[in-house]
């Protein structure tokens, strides 16, 4: 697998983390009434969005891949 294709899949994983984070926050706000579970799910969503941001930062600032 080429480095460019690998970076593409890594960025797709980051976008998936962002979508999961948004859905988790939505679910927590409107469907969960227990405050402990809300806190845990919000923490998981925060960690996912933080991880996604770090991954995107890596993909963007690692530079272009050399052409073959």
Residue 43 included in any domain: yes
Q: At residue 33, what are phi and psi to the nearest 5 degrees? A: -105, -20
The answer to whether residue 21 is domain-embedded is: no
In a domain, 18, yes or no: no
Residue 57 included in any domain: yes
Domain ranges, residue 53: 26-62
Q: Give me the mean pLDDT over the 9-28 stretch.
A: 96
Over 90: is that where the pLDDT of 11 sits? yes
Query: Tokens in use for 55?
Result: 């991954």
Q: Is residue 32 part of a domain?
A: yes
Q: Is residue 33 part of a domain?
A: yes
Mean pLDDT score of the chain: 93
pLDDT (0 to 100) of residue 68: 65
How many structural domains are present in the chain?
A: 1
Asked if residue 20 is part of any domain, the answer here is: no
67's CB contacts (< 8 A; 6+ apart) are none
Decide if 49 is inside a domain.
yes
Q: pLDDT tens across 24-55, in order?
A: 999 999 999 999 999 999 999 999 999 999 99
């Amino acid at each position: 697998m080429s480095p460019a294709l690998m970076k593409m899949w890594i960025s797709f994983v980051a976008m998936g983390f962002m979508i999961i984070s948004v859905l988790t926050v939505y679910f927590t706000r409107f469907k969960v009434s227990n405050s402990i579970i809300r806190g845990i799910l919000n923490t998981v969503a925060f960690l996912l969005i933080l991880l996604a941001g770090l991954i995107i930062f890596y993909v963007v600032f690692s530079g272009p891949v050399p052409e073959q």
